[in-house]
């Protein structure tokens, strides 16, 4: 498989420090923050994320917050759902944030609930920030996250909640290990060098090269 690529060092240089990122997004330094970035659209399924977050709250730190970055036609529906779930005071709808990937270090967890993600560059950007991942086990997300993050079935709020609870229980040593694993995955599979090496091993490329 030929994957999208990411310049890890350039992404590190672009992403601002955690405290600065939180300040830019209006988040408290002491909150435990679940981040989500994407259009507020049915195929992103933020409704399941809201439900899972509500189910998980009893397992999460008292100052937990869900920060949703993006706009779309479901914004009012999702805000109403948050009210119905009793979590409106815990959910921040931050709207469209220019170059949002700069602020990923603000998050303690990055959650992606999409029903199909051809290839989630947003996941690679979160990995570069060292943020533990929780994503649906479908599409490109599975290939990115499997083995270095937590996957849950699409639309399954209960398993999403369990994943949040597990990630909330990680200590600093486990978070560092997770960040190291993600960085290794980025360099091994998604770096410019790795993608170039894979390209030259594709059967049709080998065949064309042999003809030259």
What string of DSSP letters covers 57-107? GGGS-TTEEEEEEB--TTHHHHHHHHHHTT-GGGEEEEE--TTGGGGGGG-
Mean pLDDT of the chain: 88
pLDDT for residue 205 is more than 60: no
Q: For residue 156, what is the DSSP state?
A: -
**pLDDT tier, 202 (very low <50, low <70, confident <90, very high otherwise):** very low
Whether residue 136 contacts residue 48, with contact meaning beta carbons closer than 8 Å, is answered with no
pLDDT tens-place string over residues 2-40: 456 688 899 999 999 999 999 999 999 999 999 999 999
Containing 118, the helix (H) or strand (E) segment is: none
Domain range annotation of the chain: 8-210
The pLDDT assigned to 57 comes to 98
The pLDDT assigned to 143 comes to 82
User: Alpha-carbon distance 207 to 203, whole Å?
Assistant: 6
Mean pLDDT, to the nearest integer, of 40-53? 96
Mean pLDDT, to the nearest integer, of 141-163? 93
- Report the topology of domain 8-210: Rossmann fold (3.40.50)
pLDDT tens-place string over residues 96-147: 999 999 999 999 999 999 976 555 689 999 999 999 999 999 877 888 888 9
pLDDT for residue 192 is more than 60: no
The pLDDT assigned to 126 comes to 95
Token pair 């060098």 is found at: 193
Q: For residue 1, what is the DSSP state?
A: -
CA pseudo-torsion sign 16, 188, 116, 48:
negative
67 vs 192, higher pLDDT: 67
**pLDDT tier, 151 (very low <50, low <70, confident <90, very high otherwise):** very high
pLDDT for residue 87 is more than 60: yes
List of residues 6+ apart from 84 with CB closer than 8 A: none
Token pair 């929780």 is found at: 134
The pLDDT assigned to 174 comes to 96
User: Alpha-carbon distance 192 to 4, whole Å?
Assistant: 9
List of residues 6+ apart from 150 with CB closer than 8 A: 132, 133, 134, 135, 163, 166, 167
């Amino acid at each position: 498989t030929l994957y999208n690529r990411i310049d890890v060092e350039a992404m590190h240089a672009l992403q601002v420090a955690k405290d600065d990122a939180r300040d830019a997004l209006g988040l408290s330094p002491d909150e435990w923050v679940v981040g989500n970035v994407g259009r507020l659209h049915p195929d992103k399924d933020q409704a399941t994320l809201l439900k899972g977050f509500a189910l998980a709250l009893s397992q999460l730190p008292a100052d937990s917050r869900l920060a949703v970055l993006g706009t779309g036609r479901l914004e009012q529906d999702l805000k109403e759902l948050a009210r119905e779930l009793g979590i409106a005071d815990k959910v921040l709808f931050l709207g469209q944030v220019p170059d949002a990937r700069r602020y990923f270090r603000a998050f303690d967890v990055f959650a992606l609930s999409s029903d199909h993600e051809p290839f989630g560059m947003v996941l690679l950007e979160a990995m570069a920030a060292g943020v533990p991942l929780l994503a649906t086990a479908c599409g490109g997300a599975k290939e990115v996250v499997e083995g270095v993050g937590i996957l849950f079935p699409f639309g399954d709020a209960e398993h999403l909640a369990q994943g949040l609870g597990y990630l909330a229980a990680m200590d600093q040593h486990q978070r560092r290990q997770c960040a190291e694993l993600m960085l290794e995955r980025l360099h091994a599979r998604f770096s410019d060098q790795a993608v170039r090496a894979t390209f030259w091993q594709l059967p049709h490329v080998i065949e064309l090269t042999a003809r030259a």
